[in-house]
Structure 1
Amino acid sequence: MENNEIKKSVYWELQRNGLSVLNANDYHVFYAGNGNWYFRRGKAGLYQTSLVLEDNGTDADLRLPNITLRNSRTAGYTGLIQLKSSVTQNGWGAIQGNFMTPSLREYKSNIRDISFSALEKIRNLKIRQFNYKNAVNELYRMREEKAHDDPPLTTEAIKTYYGLIVDESDEAFVDESGKGIHLYSYASIAIKALQEVDATVQEQEVEIANLKSQIASQEDRIARLEELLLQQLFDKKPEQP
């Protein structure tokens, strides 16, 4: 600092304990002509097995030992994070944790009740069972490598999943990209369908209670009529000669 003015500086520390520190009192910029940056533990191993940042102009990848985390500039994928297998390159995976969908009123406009029967939407859904293609590829590999005397491998050897197929689902369940199911809408419509079922059940319970009351009233009326009829028959009983 000179004359109360901060001067920009960059310096590189090479410490005796083997620690290397690159310091800058502003941001760091790292340029690579091919868009690849490799971070490797120790001297052994291949660059391809290192932790890698790759940017080919279309996709930006963080390549980890067994999966690749990707964000793409391709239309329809810009707002997505893809988890990809480093072997099959199929986009799949899972994140352990809680998915939070922002839902404050201040984030939304055109708020209104839905204009369709949620129960009808749910009733028309086609829930399918399927295998992911990367698992099928793994099954093919297992078949090629199995011994001749081993029992045949079928799709029972891989995981079967259950869910919707986008191109046969109502647009109310499909996300903006047209490639996936919007789980928040899916869950919300399912809850609305349950509310519709509950409303129907409550109406039927009221109707059943009314019918029970009517039946009880009719049974009481029949009992009184039977008693009156018996009394009349007794009164009209002929005298013995």
Structure 2
Amino acid sequence: MEEKKQAGEGPETKATDAKGKAAGGPEGKAAARADRHTCLGCRFPLLVAILQLVLGVAVAALAFIMSSLSPSLLARETPHWAGIIVCLVSLLGFVLYCVTYLADEKTSLQFVAKLLYFLLCTLAMVLSLLALSFAVHHHGQVSAFTCAEQGGDCRCTLEPEDPIGRTFLYADAGDCSSITGTLKLYFLLQILLNLAQALVCLAATFIMWKHRYQVFFVGLQESPSVRQWQKV
């Protein structure tokens, strides 16, 4: 009977016990946590960078479409600059994601990339709020316009009864409905898109500030000297 019991405790049984202990120990728990964080979109700043890229392209494209209505529209009325800067910030976010994904990357490169991303996100948020304020002002202004066609241009005024009131001339606008209707709709879309841009950039700066630039989850790394799993 004793020989049978000893025979039952072979290498396979010991291997099974070792696996069970490893699964229940700290290394097994760390491996389980690593499995739960395998989603690429869960790692900062991939999701934020994708949102910034989509919103930046949308703002810039809408601004160029607005500029095609009339060459008289100013740069503050077609805020393509706000979309372009957000696109550049999103590209830096993709670079930052690739840098932090490498567990053996030097911390100096990570720190510089994260600091630059933080500063550019702050700048992009300020520019988005500036474009938002311009869009709100011009939307209210266009809503109060009284326009009349003059040749191929569209002449608009805020107070038709005032002979010396300020007038706005939109060259090559054609039908004035493109100013009082289409342009007003474009300003409304700019308000929504720039507001979304500002909120996304604010979320990015908040996350960077909260985690102090160096504690984003990018995986688990095993220390060669001490058999422990550490977040990197």
- Determine which structure has the larger helix proportion and give its number: 2
Normalised-by-shorter TM-score class: under 0.3
What TM-score, normalized by structure 1, do the two folds share? 0.20
Higher relative contact order (CA 8 A, sep 6+): 2
When the two structures are superposed, what TM-score results if normalisation uses the length of structure 2?
0.21
Which one has the largest radius of gyration? 1
